[in-house]
Amino acid sequence: MSTAASENARQKDASEEIAQLRRQVEQLIGERGAALAKEAAAAARTEVEALAEHVRNRPIAALMIALGLGVLLGRVLRH
């Protein structure tokens, strides 16, 4: 086998190894991303439940806060 052919074979092997490593990294990132998405969804669900409980316990205060934020937001967006 010539030196050029040997070099081409090594390059091909290296390219295949890099492609395999890239697929493994993409799979790991995908799995980790899915796990992070589940954690974020659970955290968001917990916060929404806490907010809903707060609103149920203090509906007038929640209404006044929402009204105040709406007025502030309206003024900011108007300018």
Average pLDDT along the chain: 89
Question: What pLDDT band is residue 2 in, cutting at 50, 70 and 90?
Answer: confident
Residue 2, helix vs strand vs coil: coil
What is the structure's pLDDT at 71?
96
Burial class (CB in 10 A: 0-12, 13-18, 19+), 55: middle
Phi first, then psi, for residue 27 (nearest 5°) are -65, -45
Q: Quote the CA–CA distance of 51 and 58 in Å, as a whole number.
A: 10
Single-letter amino acid, residue 33: G
State if pTM tops 0.75: no
Express each pLDDT in 29-71 by its tens digit: 888 888 889 999 999 999 999 999 999 999 999 999 999 999 9
Asked if 55 and 62 count as a contact pair (C-beta separation under 8 A), the reply is yes
Domain boundaries, the chain: 3-78
